[in-house]
Amino acid sequence: MSMTITALCASLGAEVHGLDLRQPVSDDLREQLHEAWNRHLVLVFRDQRLDAGQFLAASQIFGGLDMPPGVRYGRVHIPAHPEIALMSNEEENGKPKGLLGSSELVWHADMTFDELPPRGAILYPLRLPETGGETFFSNLYLAHDTLPEALRAQAQGRHAFHDGSLNSAGKPRADGAALREGERPPGAVHPLLRVHPATGRSVVFLGRRQKSYVTEWPDERGEALLDGLWAHATQPRFVYKHEWRMGDMLIWDNLATMHRRDALDASQPRTLYRTQISGRQPVRAAAEPA
């Protein structure tokens, strides 16, 4: 196979040309793809024609796969391939076919309420709407490297609680248990400035804004810090907008990006396969600058 890689915008994202992901890849090619993923954070493979099994095999090029969180509650979308979740606004027999429906998905990273969040995630569309459904990604390396000094000084050594009771649409998780009054929600604490385990570079690590708080400053000072970090990290200069085409397979680095989606027109079907790459290395806080 002859592979070429073209950057999609100045901040992040690249298109990979010349690969048919139905075919196995060599160890050398696999290493090149990992290097490109580390460098560009979002990779897009156009014009793929994958069934569920082929999509699963293509996903495994990038690492071991986690089961979708709903599996532990008996929610399996594709019994033959339980590692694949459906992201869908369609219904089947009056029930949601997949996850997240047509709601707006605000800026977030996936499952940072876990101690070891996924390294990445992969999408492949089965049906796309005529309009809408674009996905936006923000580069958290650039966000870190351009932090104003005052904001960096406040964030250094601080941690945030990442709440696990809500999904990325801001709604109670369908696979979660209801909380009793006064009960602390499930979640994890992570450094606001952390080191990426694969590259050693530092990122601003935010996860999801709703119900997040600074553990050292659970007050107005912490809220102001989080507001400042979110406003900085989601500036348009750090963002790539992906306009989906049938045949796209897209992978993103969940530890070095955030992503969002505008609300969908519920009358226009949109369904995608999703897998996620395991995150097996603990979170490490970024060192203070010399």
Q: Which tens digits make up the pLDDT trace of 161-186?
A: 999 876 655 666 555 444 444 556 77
Per the CB < 8 A criterion, the answer to whether 63 and 278 are in contact is yes
Within a domain: 289? no
Statement: residue 108 has pLDDT above 50:
yes
Within a domain: 22? yes
Rounded to whole angstroms, the Cα distance separating 260 from 216 reads 28
Say what the pLDDT of residue 179 is.
46
pTM value is: 0.93
Within a domain: 104? yes
SS3 at position 159: strand
Phi (first) and psi of residue 12, to 5 degrees: -175, 165
Per the CB < 8 A criterion, the answer to whether 127 and 271 are in contact is yes
According to DSSP, residue 287 is labeled P
| 108 backbone φψ class: left, alpha, beta (φ>0; ψ -120 to 50) | beta
| CATH code of residue 162 | 3.60.130.10
Burial 101-123, CB ≥16 within 10 A → b, else e: bbbebbbbbbbbbbeebbbbbbb
Count CA atoms closer than 13 A to 4's CA, side-chain side. 3
Domain span at residue 114 reads: 4-171+183-280
- Looking at the structure of the chain, the number of domains it has is 1
